[in-house]
Amino acid sequence: MDAITLNNVTKTYNKKTVLAVDNISFSVSKGEIFGLIGPDGAGKSTIFRMLTTLLLPDSGKATVGGLDVVKDFKAIRGIVGYMPGRFSLYQDLTVEENLTFFATVFNTSIEENYNLIKDIYVQIEPFKDRRAGKLSGGMKQKLALCCALIHKPEVLFLDEPTTGVDVVSRKEFWDMLKRLKAQGITILVSTSYMDEATLCDRIGLILNGKMLSIASPEDTINAYPEKLYAVKADSIYHLLLDLRAYEGTINCYTFGEYLHLSITSNEAEVRKYLQDKGHENVEFKAITPTVEDCFIGLLKHQDERNSNKNE
Amino acid sequence: MSETVIKTNKLTKRFGDFVAVDEITFEVHKGEIFGFLGANGAGKTTAMRMLCGLSTPTSGEATVAGYDVFKQPEEIKKNIGYMSQKFSLYEDLTVKENIEFYGGIYGLTNKEIKEKSTELIDKLGLHNEAKKLVSSLPLGWKQKLSFSVAIVHQPKIVFLDEPTGGVDPYMRRQFWDLIYEGADKGITIFVTTHYLDEAEYCNRVSIMVDGKIEALDSPAGLRKTYEATTIDEVFYKLARKAKRSE
């Protein structure tokens, strides 16, 4: 059975003037980690809020754990854990008080499901008497995850859980998600880190309230339409400007120490162009795209379509 | 040797027994893009607050844009730009009003403010949004606008505290295009980020661990020293050793 289903779900705001989610359908299997990626304002948080029964869809049908988000909202609240994008624990309660509070609300105790949160909780336990409002960003994140897990939910909703979190803590966080998955918990997560998107079983690319594609990270990469190259030279900024000005360039953008380039012409022509422009120590190699390249390609495509429309 | 815009010597900040920033010594040159990395809680924000003249150091020395952080914090504030992920623009002012407000705060004349707002709105393609409240803009647009506003008075240096947090990969590139352009014009960029691909876009990068600067070099130099293929790996090797838990 699917843990989450959406069928033609639409949501508008401001008396129907703002279309936030536009006729979206997808489903998430039990025990799957499904990643939602898309720019700010794409509609990701609205989807989270409808599935956690905090917002009503305008039309369409959605279920969580087989329960209807409109009719069975009370039952759904008992089986889901939700970490909203903004820190929403009680700032004036201590770490331990927050956790006890959430356990009590769900008729359980910290002890009962301690095994589920142990790996993360031991890291914040030294600060259990500190008020939540006084915790650093990474610590708040860990506490929020503990609070979302304390009633052993079937489905976990994580809305940008790692924004502002350093790479070491992010890795720990995702190790934790894998362990939760192994226990059969279904996870819907949004992120702006593409290395995290790669760790999902499937990812959905969402833009302007519409789902553009749903596929595993491997299939997303295989669907990349062009040949991609990594290029670098001594002056990377001027290389970027020159390659963007080159007529055979489809797209060129920074990517770590290299630029990524997709072209309509061939490699030899580009090399000659760069030589004529006086670039030194040019390195040029064909590469396999990453999820990040796929995402950038889709957004650029969409951006150009929009600007053509406006003209 | 180019002009030095930031110079610190054993700069330290204590809160009671806690040493948030522990004797950091480094220099940043004019027009340089300097990446200031570290795990959550390593002391980056505290260090940045001292450099911006917002927090008085406990000991050590530092000059920013030629002014002393102990004696001339007000002069520093006038000569720098600052933006962070958390706060930069007034949400209930329009795009145009924000530009005018910051122009005024930074002491531009009315004529300059008028020219600058036209220029910025043109450059960022915000004609349709100029009279809309900033709260209605998507995050990526806000961040591009707030960077532009932070350098509206052409400061020598701009401090960017996680400017791209939560911003999608496509918009992050557009944001970095603005950074490159600013640096090319001679503005020094001091930037923190958790997206380590962005560390590669910096001329030099420092990595803070437990209040100390553990490493400082060009991205290529760091990769070589730590025998790593990416800055992610370098960061991981260093930050994992941290004893202090936030």
Contact indicator for A80, A41 with CB cutoff of 8 Å: no
pLDDT, position A310: 54
Distance CA A225, CA A294 (A): 9
pLDDT, position A172: 86
Please give the C-alpha separations between residue B173 and each of A81, B84, B177, B190, in angstroms, as whole numbers: 34, 17, 6, 17
Question: CB-based contact (8 Å) between A122 and chain B?
Answer: no
Q: How many domains does chain B have?
A: 1
Query: Would you say residue B244 lies in a domain?
Result: no
Asked whether the predicted pLDDT for residue B170 surpasses 60, the reply is yes
Q: Which residues of A touch B166 (CB under 8 A)?
A: 40, 160, 163-164, 192
pLDDT, position B4: 95
The residues near A218 (Cβ < 8 Å, ≥ 6 apart) are none
Query: Would you say residue B58 lies in a domain?
Result: yes
Whether B166 sits inside 8 A of A163 (CB atoms) is yes
Whether A237 sits inside 8 A of B236 (CB atoms) is no
pLDDT, position A114: 92
Domain harbouring B71, CATH code: 3.40.50.300
Contact indicator for B74, B111 with CB cutoff of 8 Å: no
**pLDDT tens-digit readout, A128-185:** 999 999 887 778 888 999 999 999 999 999 999 998 888 888 888 899 899 999 999 9
Query: Would you say residue B246 lies in a domain?
Result: no
**ipTM score over 0.85, yes or no:** no
**pLDDT tens-digit readout, B138-169:** 888 899 999 999 999 999 999 999 999 888 99
**pLDDT more than 70, % of chain A:** 98
pLDDT, position A87: 80
Which residue shows structure tokens 């339409």? A225
Distance CA B114, CA B133 (A): 19
pLDDT, position B87: 67
Determine the average pLDDT of the residues in B121-147.
Answer: 91
Asked whether the predicted pLDDT for residue B85 surpasses 80, the reply is no
Domain with CATH 3.40.50.300 in chain A: 2-220
Contact indicator for A178, A196 with CB cutoff of 8 Å: no
Distance CA A35, CA A200 (A): 6
Query: Would you say residue B193 lies in a domain?
Result: yes
Q: Which residues of A touch B185 (CB under 8 A)?
A: none
Query: Would you say residue B245 lies in a domain?
Result: no
Distance CA B64, CA B80 (A): 9
Q: For the whole model, what pTM was predicted?
A: 0.87
The residues near A30 (Cβ < 8 Å, ≥ 6 apart) are A1, A2, A3, A184, A186
Contact indicator for B173, A253 with CB cutoff of 8 Å: yes
What is the domain range of residue B234?
4-239
Whether A299 sits inside 8 A of B39 (CB atoms) is no
Instruction: Tell me which fold the domain A2-220 belongs to.
Output: Rossmann fold (3.40.50)
Amino acid at A146: C
pLDDT, position B240: 82
SS3 A96: helix
**pLDDT more than 70, % of chain B:** 98
Asked whether the predicted pLDDT for residue A289 surpasses 90, the reply is yes
Q: Which residues of A touch B140 (CB under 8 A)?
A: 39-40
**pLDDT tens-digit readout, B30-65:** 999 999 999 888 999 999 999 999 999 999 999 999
Q: Could you tell me how many residues make up chain B?
A: 246
Asked whether the predicted pLDDT for residue B105 surpasses 60, the reply is yes
Q: How confident is the model at residue A311 (pLDDT cuts 50, 70, 90)?
A: very low
Sign of the CA dihedral running B174, B179, B182, B183: negative
Residue A219: alpha-carbon gap to chain centroid? 17
Instruction: Tell me which fold the domain A225-288 belongs to.
Output: Alpha-Beta Plaits (3.30.70)
Buried b (16+ CB within 10 A) or exposed e, A270-289: beebbeebebeeeebeeeeb
Buried b (16+ CB within 10 A) or exposed e, A159-176: bbbbbbbbbbbbbebbeb
Whether B176 sits inside 8 A of A254 (CB atoms) is yes
Asked whether the predicted pLDDT for residue B77 surpasses 90, the reply is yes
